[in-house]
Amino acid sequence: MAEQLWGGRFSKSTDEMINDFQASIDFDKRMYAEDIAGSIAHATMLAKVGIISEADRDAIIAGLKDIYEKIEEGNFSFEVALEDIHMNIEKRLTDAIGDAGGRLHTARSRNDQVALDTHMFIRRQVVEVQKLILDMQKALVETAEKYSDVIMPGYTHLQRAQPVLFSHHMMAYFSMLKRDFDRFVGVYERCDIMPLGAGALAGTTFPIDRKYVAEQLNFENIYSNSLDAVSDRDYIMEFLSAASILMVHLSRLSEETILWCSREFFFIELDDAHCTGSSMMPQKKNPDVSELVRGKTGRVVGHLMAMLSTVKGLPLAYNKDLQEDKEGIFDTIDTIKFSLAVYARILRGMKVRPEVMRRAVAEDFSNATDLADYLVKKGMPFRQAHAVSGKAVHHCIEENKWLADMSMTEFKDLSDLFDEDIYDAISPETCVKNRNSYGGTSYGQVEMQLQQAHGIMDLESAVVDDKTNKQVTVKP
C-alpha cells in the first residue's frame, strides 16, 4: 500500500475501509491535465521568485510531462490509498525525481490545488458545452429553413389555439438555447478566477507571485480573499443551474418530439437510426432517445439540489463535504454534452409531414380569433366580436362543420359585418401572414428571426473560438 504523503502526525495507518470511503481518485482522475498544468505553472513561479532552484523546476516539469504522457497512453496506475489525483501525481513524481518532487507542494495546499483544478476543468467544459449548444442551434435553424412555409397548430393547454409556422416553433427553441449559451458565458466568468496561492485557508508565508501564475494559466482574475478562494463553489452551483435549465429546455422539446411522432399527431417521423423497436411488438418505433433526455433532466436537476444542500450548512473554509461537488458535476457534464449532441442529430434526421400539419389547422377552430379580429377591423368592439366568434364555433360544433364550411347566410345570421372576404381572412395562410407584429409567426417575422439567428451564431462562434484559444494544455 502506498505511503500517505500527510502521515507524519499519525501513529496508525488509515483503515482500508476509510481509505475507500474518502478516496476520490475514481472520479477526479479525469482532471489530470488540469492538475499537471497547474503544477507546472506553480513550479515555474516557485523558481521565478527563488523558492526552488531552476534545476528543481526543470526536473519537476519534465517529470510532470512524463506522467501526463503515461496517463494519456493508459500506462499510469492510480492508487486508492493516495486518495485523489493530486496525491497520485505528486507521489509518482517524487518517486521518479526524488527531493525535487517533494518541493513542488511548497506554498500550496490540496485545498487551493483542488480548487484550481476544478476551476480549470469547469472552465474548459463550459466551452465544450457552448460548442454543442451552438451546433444544436444550427440544427434548429437548418430545420426551420428546410420547412420554412409549413403551417402547424400552435397550442395552449395542449389544445389547438392558433396557426403558427413550424419554423416559428423551432425558433422558439433557438431563443431558449441563446439564453442557455449566455448563462454559460456567466458561468465561465465565475470560473475564470484563480484560487491558487490561498493555501489551506489563510495564504502562505512564502513570497509567491499569484499574478504570474494567473498569467500562465490564462486567468482573468484572482481571488482576493483566501477563505473565499478555497470554499467557493458558486461557479459549480451556477454550472449546475445553467445545465438544469438547459436540460429543462431539451426535456420540453423531447416531450413535443414524443407527441409529434405518435400516431395521434403524426406530425413528424424520426430517423430509424435514432429510434428503437420492441422485443415483442414488431410494429413499434420508439423515440427512446427523447424519452431518455426527458428522464435524465431529473437527474441533472437532482445534482443541483444535492450541491445546494451540501453547501448550505458549511462553515468557512474548506470541509471534506466539498469533495461531493465532483461526481454530480462530472455526471452533469457528460449528460448535457450527450443530450445536446444527440438532439442535433435527431433534428437533422427528422422528417416533417407538412400535409398532416396543414390538415390539422384546417380541421379545427384555431382560426376563431382571426374571425373575431375580422369583426373588430370592421368596427365591432372586441368583446362583442369574441362573443360572435364563440357563437360561430358553437354553431359549427352543432352542425359538425368548421368555420370555413359556413355559408354566407350563416355568417350573416351572426353579423351583417361579414362579407365574402371572411373566407380568406380565416384561412390558415392568412392567419399566419397577418400576425406580423415583432416576434410574431408571420412569414416576414420568421424570416427576420432566421436572419438574426445567423448573426447570433456568428457572435457565439467568436466567443467559443476566443475561449478555446485561452485553454491551457500540457505540451510534451
Active site residues: 157, 278
Residues whose CB is less than 8 angstroms from the CB of residue 168 and which lie 6 or more positions away in sequence, other chains included = 144, 441, 445, 446, 449
Q: H helices then E strands: how many in the chain?
A: 20, 6
398 exposure class (CB count in 10 Å sphere: 0-12, 13-18, 19+): exposed
- All three cell numbers of 464, joined, read 467559443
In whole angstroms, give the CA distance from residue 218 to residue 127. 14
- Tell whether the torsion through CA atoms of 325, 328, 329 and 331 is positive or negative: positive
CB 63 within 8 A of CB 101: yes
- All three cell numbers of 471, joined, read 485553454
Phi, psi (degrees; rounded to nearest 5) at 306: -65, -40
CB 336 within 8 A of CB 246: yes
Secondary-structure breakdown of the chain: helix, strand, coil percentages, each rounded to the nearest 5: 65, 5, 30
In whole angstroms, give the CA distance from residue 340 to residue 410. 52
Q: Dump strand ranges (E) for 231-290.
A: 268-269
In whole angstroms, what separates CA 447 from the centre of its chain?
27
